[in-house]
Structure 1
């Protein structure tokens, strides 16, 4: 008795990636399905995004490993594993995680005047090196993402000194320079949150007016999005996150408080809604120096405080470490 092909696809699409790649050794047809069938890849990706797990990656250049933390609804981090980086780097090299998308990690390696990008899938082991990133000794911000409509992965580099954007599309193999921009982007603001196919930063304009600069990965154009009214505005007071597929803004008016805002309809300023407030507990550090690491579907957030502590924040007015 044979199993219908459609049922095989449905079963395999629900497996974790590591199990899936073990099962590709069962037959040539399964191996071809897992590695080259684009329809199956998209189906498996859609199933994976329904998971309640949060994957957190922290790098330690001294030890040359990354630590990937898996958690479910219970936010249990007991099953953390360490993975060796598949590339080496000399002493005094700075390694930065630019972003992650669909299981692919994007690293930037800084070594004096040389900058390279690494795209690595820790599950499959696939590694791609993007050499000679065009920074030109200028301050740049970077982003990495995927757009469902074009099915393209793109790297974005914004030169903050010369104020122009460069885009690298995987599969094409070269950087393209777009028109100059007039925005004064704050380097510390994150672009790692990909919502509605766009990367974003915060820009400071005239009269200290702050706004969101959103770069659409499909059309490769910039859109402006206003911040919620009456929120505290300074260079390091706000950070982006994603909550249930919606753009989320974490605002810190006080050292012991984080206001969580959600844009219910993307691009609609009037849809900004303050969902809840997170109050800091003793010893969690100043929330002014926070970086969102991830969020769960139940509204929990993981925040990195002062570059040293990881704090779990619930959707009530409490935090836990």
Structure 2
């Protein structure tokens, strides 16, 4: 069209070119980087990527990423990644990794996979571009492997945190764990991976409060969040200053040993939320960061979800159904705690459940995230 009017792409003002590029999908942007050095510099810039990231989210809504373990062949094990919105057909991408890697979560469209008890390097993956980078095991992972090799029965599995320093734009994997569980000094120990030096380092001082280590930490707006063990308070780790702060007391019942997994943390609609299950109901609390207060977002009657599971005992258990995301502001995505990690949708208006995805066989945990693809 431009050539028909005697114009070329280079004749367009660069701010107009940027507006056009921001509206294109990632696969097109990757091809257009070869058009010129100016376009490549623009597409690679953090400012452009943030603008494209926000625009993509606002225009398309949350995309879904689902990753069960699977096999590429008899020799190789892979991590299977599915793309697509709730209403669209998913496509598949394979990454050759250990089948024992666990998926922590996503940040800016990046996934962080890690191993609990094998000498498999952790890896950060961009499913949209197939870029990935591995990084070595942390000190605590080596301690876990040592306990595993000694065939010790009871030992903790610290959860990996992954987020971004908002000031520098640096991504940081983090391990925060209770020191006494590994016969170490201090109350807690915190390790942060530095991609610049390709090495783990300790954060000193670490948190002065023991954490509930069986909960996944969650990332929001430059900080990782944890629940403390003594008073069930909300603890934050600022990923720029690398300092800890107790935000407020959480209004949840202190979990006992019999129902350690009755509470799960999550991010819904850019807000920190906590789900608490007490059969037959599940209550979701939303945190107001400005006022440091908790409000009840919704109550879910789980009796209607029993038919989605082949084993009803899983639906009736005290384990909370992890909340994943809000779609179209009124549909809640939940992951079941059955063998298959069934995925289903709860409509907040109609109070009804619909099955979304169930693997044909229990091949491993199925993870489900808002996937905000960027370059």
TM-score range, shorter chain: 0.7 to 0.9
- How many Å apart are 1:243 and its aligned residue? 2.5
**Paired residues, what number?**
303
Structure 1 position 156 matched with structure 2 position 164: no
Q: Give runs of aligned pairs for residues 124-143 of structure 1, distance below 5 A.
A: 124-135=129-140, 136-138=142-144, 139=156, 140-143=158-161
Structure 1 29/294 Cα, relative in aligned 2: closer, same or farther at 3 Å? same
- Among residues 199, 204, 207, which one is paired with 1:181 in the alignment? 207
2:79–2:97: 8 Å Cα contact kept in structure 1?
no
Structure 1 66/156 Cα, relative in aligned 2: closer, same or farther at 3 Å? same
Could you tell me how far apart the structure 2 residues matched to 1:297 and 1:19 are?
26
- Among residues 17, 20, 37, which one is paired with 2:26 in the alignment? 17
4+ runs of 1 displaced by more than 6 Å?
none
Q: Per the alignment, in what secondary structure is the counterpart of residue 42 of structure 2? A: helix
1:203–1:212: 8 Å Cα contact kept in structure 2?
yes
- Among residues 279, 282, 291, which one is paired with 1:255 in the alignment? 279
Could you tell me how far apart the structure 1 residues matched to 2:320 and 2:298 are?
20
Structure 1 176/289 Cα, relative in aligned 2: closer, same or farther at 3 Å? same
Q: Give runs of aligned pairs for residues 1-321 of structure 1, distance below 5 A.
A: 1=7, 2-34=11-43, 36-50=44-58, 51-62=60-71, 64-71=78-85, 75-76=86-87, 78-85=88-95, 87-89=96-98, 94-110=100-116, 112=118, 114-135=119-140, 136-138=142-144, 139=156, 140-160=158-178, 161=181, 162=184, 163-178=188-203, 179-191=205-217, 193-205=218-230, 209-229=231-251, 231-234=252-255, 235-252=260-277, 254-266=278-290, 268-269=291-292, 271-280=293-302, 281=304, 282-284=306-308, 285-286=315-316, 288-296=319-327, 298-307=329-338, 308=340, 309-316=342-349, 317-321=351-355
Structure 1 301/190 Cα, relative in aligned 2: closer, same or farther at 3 Å? farther
Could you tell me how far apart the structure 1 residues matched to 2:196 and 2:31 are?
27
- How many Å apart are 1:6 and its aligned residue? 0.5
Could you tell me how far apart the structure 1 residues matched to 2:307 and 2:224 are?
33
- How many Å apart are 1:24 and its aligned residue? 2.7
Bigger RCO (CA 8 Å, 6+ sep): 2
Deviations 1:290-320 (A, max 9, x none): 2233333504222111152112122233322
Q: CA RMSD in A?
A: 2.4
1:259–1:276: 8 Å Cα contact kept in structure 2?
yes
Deviations 1:202-243 (A, max 9, x none): 2221xxx322222111121122233543x3441212212222
- How many Å apart are 1:69 and its aligned residue? 3.5
Larger Rg: 2
TM-score (norm 1): 0.84
Could you tell me how far apart the structure 1 residues matched to 2:347 and 2:216 are?
21
TM-score (norm 2): 0.73
Structure 1 142/291 Cα, relative in aligned 2: closer, same or farther at 3 Å? same
Deviations 1:65-118 (A, max 9, x none): 3232421xxx31x32122111x343xxx51101221111111103454x24210
- How many Å apart are 1:155 and its aligned residue? 1.0
Could you tell me how far apart the structure 1 residues matched to 2:253 and 2:354 are?
24
Q: Per the alignment, in what secondary structure is the counterpart of residue 233 of structure 2? A: strand
2:177–2:211: 8 Å Cα contact kept in structure 1?
no
Higher mean alpha-carbon deviation, 180-189 vs 146-155, is at 180-189
Q: Which runs of no fewer than 5 residues in structure 1 stay unpaired? A: none
1:259–1:277: 8 Å Cα contact kept in structure 2?
yes
